[in-house]
């Protein structure tokens, strides 16, 4: 069978392939999905997982073999894209650099502000990052910290790509520092060129390009390029690409992905004019947060503890919580297991949104009381989009996401308002479409709108 495009999503445990046809027409179609164990830990060869997923797809389509014109891939295998980020002041350049890295799909293992210490050096060695990002200083401002940090990092001889996104006055000296090292250096525009001005998109794009160029250096990923003839993108970065594409066509939105290990939240919104006037620090238009303690499988016990067993038992009256926890499965099989996972998912959604969203608080000065805003303003969000296993497959997925709107009663939390609409990535293909959009933007948008079933969306109910 000949199809237009295959997109592989290579995770640490499972590899999924999505098949698309009609990419060059006005009516592109999602035609099927296959999956298989990634086998990243079985000799480090992901070709077995990819081939297994393609065979599974062939079986589901009832054909002997599949031929394709293009093949893209997203990857979070081998722990994803590990990065360390080093800036000057945490609330300024360090935060800006972190936002760029997270938006590109990286897993941030360490952030430092100011001059790196010996303990930081020890941690960086232990982390063994795939990419190191150095920033610091507005353009024509402070220079010494970034140069000091670059000297120390150069001396580690880690041999990984280094991105410099700091004060432009340091560019030539940074080149000299890394000139005779085993690092490959990338110099981009400053992530924080002026006070209260973020410029993270150039760095975000370079991170994704570096990931694709150096993916063969990641454990277990050395054979990916043998099968993929198009772009390879970090899976979370691909979801962000989908979110940005969708925002440009339908308006401000957030995308929530509750997974087994983490809950990711992507927001693409400028926020309201009123809040922006009292915002203490700038926020990026496209922002991603990763909550590593809010996975509904790997971190199940943590979420149970956050809720409290007594409270959870009240919510799930008549269900033996202890029995479910002792025989917990990654995919729920019974109605009781389903209700249990739905309650954990609801908790993960609310807590992740609280951590992502900003707040308004009162401050007192010589002129009396005034209000300031801190963090991301989600009040202008028109759509709440659910993707990932939990929010595309659980029966109560829409009701879980509706619950976010109830927090609009508290005007101090910058949550979406009650008029926001709920959308579900029914085909579970947002990550695939994010990487597909790099070559086939129009087709990706049409496939996304089909998966979201926008004609049958559900509005949040006024509290």
Same domain, 105 and 7: no
Q: Is the pLDDT of residue 197 over 50?
A: yes
Instruction: Supply the pLDDT for residue 420.
Output: 93
Q: How many domains does the chain have?
A: 3
Averaged pLDDT, 294-303: 90
Mean pLDDT over the full length of the chain? 89
pLDDT in tens, 157-178: 999 999 999 999 999 999 999 9
CATH number at residue 305: 3.30.420
Same domain, 302 and 407: yes
Which of 176, 197, 230 terminates a domain? The answer is: 230
Same domain, 269 and 316: yes
Averaged pLDDT, 127-147: 95
Instruction: Supply the pLDDT for residue 457.
Output: 44
pLDDT in tens, 418-451: 889 999 999 999 999 999 999 999 999 999 999 9
- pTM for this prediction: 0.85
Which of 230, 255, 272 terminates a domain? The answer is: 230
HEC-encoded secondary structure of the chain: CEEEEEEEEECCCEEEEEEEECCCCCCCEEEEEEEEECCCCCCCCCHHHHHHHHHHHHHHHCCCCCEEEEEEEEECHHHCEEEEEEECCHHHHHHHHHHHHHHCCEEEEEEEECCCCHHHHHHHHHHCCCEEEECCCCCCCCCHHHHHHHHHHHCCCCCCCEEECCCHHHHHHHHHHCCCCCCCEEECCCCCCECCECCCHHHHHHHHHHHHHCHHHCCCCCCHHHHCCCCEEEHHHHHHHHHHHHHHHHCCEEEEEECCCCEEEEEECCCCHHHHHCECCCCCCEEEEEECCCCCCCCHHHHHHHHCHHHHHHHCCCCCHHHHHHCCCCCCCCHHHHHHHHHHHHHHHHHHHHHHECEEEEEEECCEEEEEEECECCCCCCEEEEEHHHHHHCCCHHHHHHHHHHHHHCCCECCCCCCCEEEECCCCCHHHHHHHCCCCHHHHHHHHHHHHCHHHCEECCCC
Averaged pLDDT, 259-275: 92
Looking at per-residue pLDDT, the higher value among 78 and 335 belongs to: 335
Instruction: Supply the pLDDT for residue 460.
Output: 59
Instruction: Supply the pLDDT for residue 442.
Output: 95
Same domain, 185 and 65: no
Instruction: Supply the pLDDT for residue 410.
Output: 60
Q: Is the pLDDT of residue 38 over 70?
A: yes
Structural domain for 446, as ranges: 234-459
Confidence band for 463, pLDDT divided at 50, 70 and 90? very low
Same domain, 43 and 145: no
Same domain, 30 and 14: yes
Averaged pLDDT, 180-203: 93
Q: Is the pLDDT of residue 217 over 70?
A: no
Averaged pLDDT, 332-357: 94
Same domain, 24 and 95: no
């Amino acid at each position: 069978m000949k199809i237009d495009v295959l997109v592989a999503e290579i995770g640490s445990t499972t590899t999924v392939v999505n098949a698309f046809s009609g990419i060059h027409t006005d009516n592109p179609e999602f035609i099927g999905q296959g999956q298989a164990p990634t086998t990243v830990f079985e000799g480090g060869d992901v070709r077995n997982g990819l081939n297994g997923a393609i065979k599974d797809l062939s079986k589901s389509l009832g054909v002997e073999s599949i031929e394709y014109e293009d093949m893209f891939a997203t990857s979070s295998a081998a722990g994803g894209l590990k990065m360390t980020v080093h800036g000057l002041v945490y609330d300024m350049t360090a935060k800006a650099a972190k936002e760029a890295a997270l938006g590109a799909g990286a897993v941030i293992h360490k952030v430092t502000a100011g001059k790196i210490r010996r303990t930081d050096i020890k941690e960086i060695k232990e982390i063994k990052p795939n990419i190191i990002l150095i920033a610091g200083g507005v353009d024509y401002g402070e220079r010494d910290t970034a140069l000091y940090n670059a000297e120390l990092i150069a001396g580690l001889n880690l041999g990984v790509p280094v991105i410099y996104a700091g004060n432009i006055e340091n560019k030539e000296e940074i080149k000299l520092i890394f000139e005779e090292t085993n690092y490959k250096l990338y110099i981009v525009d400053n992530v924080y060129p002026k006070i209260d001005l973020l410029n993270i998109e150039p760095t975000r794009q370079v991170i994704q390009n570096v990931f694709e160029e150096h993916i063969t250096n990641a454990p277990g990923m050395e054979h990916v390029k043998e099968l993929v003839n198009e772009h390879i993108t970090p899976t979370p970065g691909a979801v962000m690409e989908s979110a940005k594409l969708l925002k440009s066509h339908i308006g401000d939105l957030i995308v929530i992905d509750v997974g087994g290990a983490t809950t990711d939240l992507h927001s693409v919104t400028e926020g309201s004019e009123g809040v922006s006037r009292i915002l203490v620090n700038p926020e990026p238009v496209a922002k991603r947060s990763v909550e590593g303690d809010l996975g509904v499988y790997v971190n199940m016990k943590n979420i149970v503890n956050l809720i409290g067993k007594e409270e959870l038992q009240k919510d799930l009256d008549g269900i033996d919580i202890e029995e479910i926890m002792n025989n917990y499965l990654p995919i729920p099989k019974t109605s009781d297991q389903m209700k249990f996972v739905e309650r954990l998912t609801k908790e993960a959604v609310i807590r992740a949104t609280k951590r992502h969203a900003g707040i308004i608080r009162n401050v007192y000065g010589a002129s009396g009381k005034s209000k300031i805003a801190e963090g991301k303003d989600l009040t202008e969000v028109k759509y709440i989009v659910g993707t990932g296993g939990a929010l595309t497959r659980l029966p109560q997925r829409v009701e879980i996401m509706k619950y976010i709107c109830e927090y609009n009663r508290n005007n101090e939390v910058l949550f979406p308002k009650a008029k926001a609409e709920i959308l579900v990535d029914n085909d579970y293909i947002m990550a695939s479409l994010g990487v597909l959009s790099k070559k086939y933007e129009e087709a990706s948008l049409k496939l996304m709108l089909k998966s979201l079933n926008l004609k049958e969306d559900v509005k949040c109910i006024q509290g």
